[in-house]
Amino acid sequence: MRLQFILSEIGIGLRRNLSMTVSVILVTFVSLTFVGSAALLQTQIGKMKDDWYDKVEVSVFLCPRDSAEPTCASGEVTEAQKADIQAALDAPEIKPFIQDIFFESKEEAFTSFQKQFGDQFWAAATTADDMNSSFRIKLTDPQKYQVVADVVAGRQGVEDVQDQRRLFDQLFLVLNRATLLAGGLAAVMLLAAVLLITTTIRLSALSRRRETGIMRLVGASTLFIQLPFMLEGAIAATVGAAMAIGGLWLGVEYIVKEWLGSSLTWVPYVDASDVWAIAPILLAVAIGLAAVSSLVTLSRYTKV
């Protein structure tokens, strides 16, 4: 009997404040979509770091025929200079930081260049003599790039030392800023959701003030009186959270996997399992919003 009464009160409240309830659902949906997007962006960054940092190489580009670098003043790198650089990399104090060293000749560099840019009109004028030979160094720990760079940088025969990780860090910086933007928008929208839920519950409580007064007079407990209002907010917020989860799943499946995944196949993308991993968090946030809003509002507007 009590359950039937509570359900009927919830139905009455939702019908009386239908427009406000729809607004709560939509604002919760938008705000939690931003929260979920921020979480998925961080997950995406983590996947990319785990995959790419393991493949990062330090490239020691040796002097070509014509270079303005002071270390290339004697012209193209000599065999003696190559041996000196190799010896520096093989030194006992540096060896623990290096997993593998691969020497790429000018001819091999030109072959790789042709594979990547051979279809470009400007590549036709490039020859193998224009390429740099290089040492490709895979580190045991990509964070220790500077240790290896300091050993070879400035040596005769070395034109430049590049760390691929720096290129990735620029991309990760952009993604992290996008995460902060999404988080900031989410915070604003969550505040709007709290205010809307509070307003909806207050209007519902005011419209049924006479009924709650009668219930108080016949001995109904505070929880029994407030429970329908609390559930109204929780239902609206949960529907909004469910819509946000569904929207994120659709975005991952059809935008990330099918659209981006078909054009950039070398990137490890987030998938549906990552959406389901954050789904309980989004539901908890929605219910928490409704609970906080309900407690703040009902303590004042259900008093008789």
SS (H, E, C) 150-208: HHHCCCCCEEEEEEHHHHHHHHHHHHHHHHHHHHHHHHHHHHHHHHHHHHHHHHHHHHC
Contact between 274 and 252 (Cβ < 8 Å): yes
Residue length, the chain? 304
Where among 144, 168, 192 does a domain terminate? 168
Backbone angles phi, psi at 137, to 5 degrees: -115, 120
What's the number of domains the chain is made of?
2
* Whether 251 and 163 share a structural domain: no
CA–CA dist 170, 103 (Å, integer): 27
What would the pLDDT profile of 10-43 be if each residue is shown by its tens digit?
Answer: 555 556 566 667 777 888 888 888 888 888 888 8
Are 31 and 124 part of one and the same domain? no
Q: Write down the pLDDT at residue 111.
A: 85
Q: Are residues 268 and 123 in the same domain?
A: no
What is the pTM for the complete model shown? 0.61
CATH of the domain at 80: 3.30.70.3040
C-alpha dist (Å) from residue 74 to 77, 130, 131, 154: 8, 17, 17, 14
For residue 48, the model assigns a pLDDT of: 77
Q: Is 288 found in the same domain as 185?
A: yes
Identify the segments of the chain with pLDDT beneath 70: 1-20, 51-55, 118-119, 121-123, 164, 166-168, 200-201, 203-229, 266, 294-304
On whether both 20 and 86 belong to a single domain, the answer is no
Same domain? 62 vs 146: yes
Same domain as 36, residue 61: no
Taking the C-alpha atoms of residue 130 and residue 250, their distance in angstroms, rounded to an integer, is 48
Residues 71 and 154 in one domain: yes
Residue 126 lies in domain: 55-168
In which region does residue 233 sit, left (phi positive, over 0), alpha (psi from -120 to 50) or beta (all else)? alpha
Same-domain check for residues 194 and 85:
no
Position 11 scores a pLDDT of 56
* Strand residue runs (E) in 43-185: 57-62, 98-104, 134-139, 158-163
Q: Which residues contact 137 (CB under 8 A, 6 or more apart)?
A: 57, 58, 59, 60, 89, 98, 100, 101, 102, 148
Final residue belonging to a domain, choices 116, 145, 168:
168
CB-count exposure of residue 293 (10 Å: 0-12, 13-18, 19+): buried
